Structure 1
């Protein structure tokens, strides 16, 4: 396992030990003692699976005090994390990376980040390990194309839910969640 810095405090990119042969592939997606060595001391209490078709864009979502470890189990996505921590030097900036199942890497987002992705393959299955239980009262979102963030999404023909399309621009409701 190898840790890569992202330029954002506590936002970590993890290269897992990936094994592939004629039978298929194998990797450990979570091993507490190894991740603690990387500085991830969170307790994960909920796992979520997202299954999405090509061109689906989800996000930008956030949940109060929730950290996430994102792993693509199948397919390929363009993944985005937006720093909403007011005291961070990367506040209102975003990190993006292509994550896929052929060369798996994991993105660890500590509490205080909004998350979104768009699907580049025909189908993508994503696993989220979460440090807090889902609570609808603690969630929020930012519009995916907020010009103040200016995310360079790789596709132009996104399919976006009505809910995600109706999120406000940055600054409307994130402060009650991330402070």
Structure 2
């Protein structure tokens, strides 16, 4: 397993080692030992999975304390652009983002710790996305920012007319109006 820190401290891209043969492949999708050796300490409590059509955009979300979540995310089938935005007020990279392409083909994973907004857009139909999280979902702890906020400068790789968005995500605040709890 190759674990690489991104340009933003504490945000990691994970590439598993695949063992292939004529039957297919095998890989470790999580190793507590490997994570801790990389400085990632996570106590996972729940796994989630979503199925989405091309153009579905989920985000930008987080949960505040006492229910803040770290997320280990990956794609089982299909392809996404996955986004994490640093919302740690005292961070030198506050408001900056990292984009990772995750797919069923490349098997890459993204570690998004508490203190980051997270979202993704599906680039293929029938995309299956999984989240391994460090805290249970708590509706009263939900926070978020509007996905297409110009101040964030995110290139989602898809036109706004192609985006499928929940009603809840259409009502999120702009980044300049967002007050980070981290």
User: How does the TM-score come out when normalised to structure 1?
Assistant: 0.93
Tell me if structure 2 keeps the 8 A contact 1:84–1:174: no
Give the structure 2 partner of residue 70 of structure 1: 73
Structure 1 SS opposite 2:34: helix
In the alignment, structure 2 segments of 5+ residues that lack a partner are none
Of 163, 172, 176 in structure 1, the residue corresponding to residue 168 of structure 2 is 163
Gaps of 5+ in 1: none
What is the aligned-residue RMSD (CA, Å)?
A: 1.3
In 2, the alpha carbon distance for the partners of 1:26 and 1:158 equals 34
Q: How many residues matched?
A: 177
After superposition, the C-alpha distances for 1:32-89 in whole angstroms (9 at most, x for unaligned) are 1222112111111111111111111110011122111111111100110011111111
What is the CA-CA distance between 1:174 and the residue it aligns to? 4.3
Give TM-score scaled by structure 2 length.
0.92
Matches within 5 A, 1:38-117: 38-64=38-64, 65-117=68-120
Which runs of structure 1 show a deviation greater than 3 angstroms over 4 or more consecutive aligned residues? 171-174
SS in 2 for 1:137: helix
- SS of equivalent residue, structure 1 residue 34: helix
Tell me which protein shows more strand as a share of its residues: 1
Q: Which residue of the partner structure matches residue 125 of structure 1?
A: 128
